[in-house]
Amino acid sequence: MMRQDDRVIVVGAGPVGAVTALALVKKGIPVTLVEAEPEPPEDQRAATIHPPTVEMLAELGLTNEAFAEDASGGLISPIFHFRDRVSGGLVAVFDLGLLKGEVPYPFVMQWEQYKLVRAALPHIEASGLAEVRFSTKVTGLAQSADHVDVTAANAGGDVETVRGRYVIGTDGGRSTVRALAEIEFEGFTWPERFIKTATTFDFAATGSGFCTRNYFSDPDEWLNLFKVKGNGEPGIWRGIMPVPPDETDEQAVSMEGIQRRLQGIFPKSGDYEIPYYALYSVHQRVAATFNKGRVLLAGDSAHVNNPIGGMGMNGGLHDAMNLTDKLAAVWFGRAAPAALDRYTRQRRKAQVDYVQAQSIQNKKALEEKDPVIRRRHLDELRRISEDVTRHKQFLYRSSLFDSLKSANAVG
Sign of the Cα torsion 14, 337, 402, 286 reads positive
Distance between CA 207 and CA 173 in Å, rounded?
39
Spell out the residues 6+ positions from residue 182 whose beta carbon is closer than 8 angstroms to its own. none
What are the strands, taking DSSP E only, across 200-255? Answer: 213-217, 223-228, 236-243
Distance between CA 107 and CA 80 in Å, rounded?
10
Give the pLDDT mean for 217-229. Answer: 97
Distance between CA 64 and CA 83 in Å, rounded?
34
Give 65's pLDDT tier (boundaries 50, 70, 90). very high
What's residue 5's pLDDT? 67
Distance between CA 176 and CA 38 in Å, rounded?
17
Give the pLDDT mean for 299-325. Answer: 95
User: Chain-wide mean pLDDT for the chain?
Assistant: 95
Q: What is the DSSP string of 96-158?
A: GGGGBTTBS--SEEE--HHHHHHHHHHHHHHTSSEEEE-SEEEEEEEE-SS-EEEEEEETT--
Give 184's pLDDT tier (boundaries 50, 70, 90). very high
Distance between CA 89 and CA 285 in Å, rounded?
34
Q: Is the model more confident about 156 or about 135? A: 135
Least confident of 214-218, 265-269, 355-359: 355-359
Instruction: For the chain, give every domain's residue range.
Output: 2-77+107-187+283-408, 193-280
What's residue 59's pLDDT? 98
Q: For residue 227, which of 96, 85, 391, 112 has the smallest C-alpha distance?
A: 112
Q: What is the DSSP letter of 251?
A: H
Model pLDDT for residues 244-296, shown as the tens digit of each residue: 999 999 999 999 999 999 999 999 999 999 999 999 999 999 999 999 999 99
Q: Domain 2-77+107-187+283-408 has what CATH class?
A: alpha beta
Give the pLDDT mean for 393-405. Answer: 96
Give the pLDDT mean for 318-344. Answer: 98
φ/ψ (deg, to 5) at 345 = -60, -45
What's residue 2's pLDDT? 41
The CATH number of 193-280 is: 3.30.70
Spell out the residues 6+ positions from residue 220 whose beta carbon is closer than 8 angstroms to its own. none
What's residue 4's pLDDT? 54
Distance between CA 244 and CA 351 in Å, rounded?
27
With H, G, I as helix, E, B as strand and everything else as coil, classify residue 176.
helix
Task: Label residues 326-335 b or e (16+ Cβ within 10 Å = b).
Answer: bbbebbeeeb
Q: What is the pTM of this model?
A: 0.96
Distance between CA 5 and CA 252 in Å, rounded?
48
Give the pLDDT mean for 13-33. Answer: 98
Q: Is the model more confident about 357 or about 372? A: 372
Pairing status of strand 130-133 against strand 108-110 = unpaired
- Asked if 52 and 27 touch (Cβ cutoff 8 Å), the reply is no
Q: Is pLDDT above 90 for 151?
A: yes
Give 156's pLDDT tier (boundaries 50, 70, 90). confident
Model pLDDT for residues 79-123, shown as the tens digit of each residue: 999 999 999 999 999 999 999 999 999 999 999 999 999 999 999
